[in-house]
Amino acid sequence: MATAADQMAASLSLANFAKATDLKKRLWFTLGALIVFRMLSFVPLPGIDPRALSTLFETTRGGVLDFFNMFSGGSLERMSLIALGVMPYITASIVMQLASSMSPTLAALKKEGESGRKKINQYTRYGTVLLCAIQGYFMAVALEGWGASAGGSAVVDPGMMFRITTVISLVGGTMFLMWLGEQITSRGVGNGISLIIMAGIVAQLPTALAQMFEGGRTGSLDPFLIMVIVALALGLILFICFMERAQRRVLIQYPKRQTARGQIQQERSHLPLKVNTANVIPPIFASSLLLMPLTIAQFAGQDQTGDTWWSEFVITITTALQHGAPLYMFLYGAGIVFFCFFYTAVVFNPEETAENLKKYGGFIPGIRPGKRTEEYLDYVLTRVTVVGAAYLTLTCLIPEWLIARAGIPFYLGGTSLIIVVNVTMDTVSQIQSHLIAHQYGDLIKKAKLKGGLRRG
Distance, CA of 445 to CA of 456 (rounded, Å): 16
Distance, CA of 123 to CA of 101 (rounded, Å): 15
Question: For residue range 382-411, what is the model confidence (pLDDT) as tens digits?
Answer: 999 999 999 999 888 877 777 666 655 555
What one-letter code names the amino acid at 211? Q
- Calculate the average pLDDT of the chain: 78
Distance, CA of 319 to CA of 327 (rounded, Å): 10
Per-domain boundaries in the chain: 20-455
pLDDT class of 452 with cuts at 50, 70, 90: low
Distance, CA of 111 to CA of 319 (rounded, Å): 44
Average pLDDT for 419-444: 80
pLDDT class of 305 with cuts at 50, 70, 90: very low
Count Cβ atoms below 10 Å from residue 177 Cβ, excluding itself.
26
Lowest model confidence (mean pLDDT) among 122-131, 217-226, 369-378: 217-226
- Map the chain to HEC letters: CCCHHHHHHHCCCHHHHHHCHHHHHHHHHHHHHHHHHHHHCCCECCCECHHHHHHHHHCCCCCHHHHHHHHCCCHHHHCECCCCCCHHHHHHHHHHHHHHHHCHHHHHHHCCCHHHHHHHHHHHHHHHHHHHHHHHHHHHHHHHHCCHHHCCCCECCCCHHHHHHHHHHHHHHHHHHHHHHHHHHHHCCCCHHHHHHHHHHHHHHHHHHHHHHHHHHHCCCCHHHHHHHHHHHHHHHHHHHHHHHCEEEEEEEEEEEECCCCCEEEEEEEEEEECCCCCCHHHHHHHHHHHHHHHHHHHHCCCCCCCCHHHHHHHHHHHHCCCCCHHHHHHHHHHHHHHHHHHHHHHCCHHHHHHHHHHCCCECCCCCCCHHHHHHHHHHHHHHHHHHHHHHHHHHHHHHHHHHHHCCCHHHCHHHHHHHHHHHHHHHHHHHHHHHHHHHHHHHHHHHHHHHHHHC
Distance, CA of 86 to CA of 45 (rounded, Å): 17
Average pLDDT for 243-250: 87
Question: For residue range 46-104, what is the model confidence (pLDDT) as tens digits?
Answer: 888 777 777 767 665 555 566 667 667 777 778 888 888 888 888 888 788 878 877 88
Average pLDDT for 179-187: 91
Query: 299 pLDDT exceeds 70?
Result: no
Which of 139-148, 166-175, 256-265, 338-347 has the largest mean confidence? Answer: 166-175
**Is there a contact between 434 and 23 (Cβ–Cβ < 8 Å)?**
yes
pLDDT class of 352 with cuts at 50, 70, 90: confident
- Cα separation values, 82 from 34, 256, 403, Å: 13, 59, 26
What one-letter code names the amino acid at 1? M
pLDDT of residue 33: 93
Query: Angle 345-352-427 (CA atoms, 0-180°, nearest 5)?
Result: 55
Question: For residue range 318-345, what is the model confidence (pLDDT) as tens digits?
Answer: 677 776 678 888 888 898 999 899 888 8
**Is there a contact between 121 and 316 (Cβ–Cβ < 8 Å)?**
no
Give percent of the chain with pLDDT exceeding 90: 10
Lowest model confidence (mean pLDDT) among 181-185, 233-237, 253-257, 346-350: 253-257
Distance, CA of 88 to CA of 287 (rounded, Å): 12
Q: Which CATH architecture has domain 20-455?
A: Orthogonal Bundle (1.10)
pLDDT class of 171 with cuts at 50, 70, 90: very high
Distance, CA of 284 to CA of 182 (rounded, Å): 18
pLDDT of residue 137: 87
Query: 129 pLDDT exceeds 80?
Result: yes
Lowest model confidence (mean pLDDT) among 247-256, 278-287, 296-305, 366-375: 296-305
325 or 180: whose pLDDT is higher?
180
Average pLDDT for 143-170: 78
What one-letter code names the amino acid at 349? N
Query: 372 pLDDT exceeds 80?
Result: yes
Distance, CA of 435 to CA of 453 (rounded, Å): 27
Residue 129: how many CA atoms within 13 Å on its side-chain side? 8
Lowest model confidence (mean pLDDT) among 50-59, 111-120, 216-225: 50-59
Give percent of the chain with pLDDT exceeding 70: 75
268 CB-near residues (< 8 Å, 6+ apart): 251, 252, 253, 254
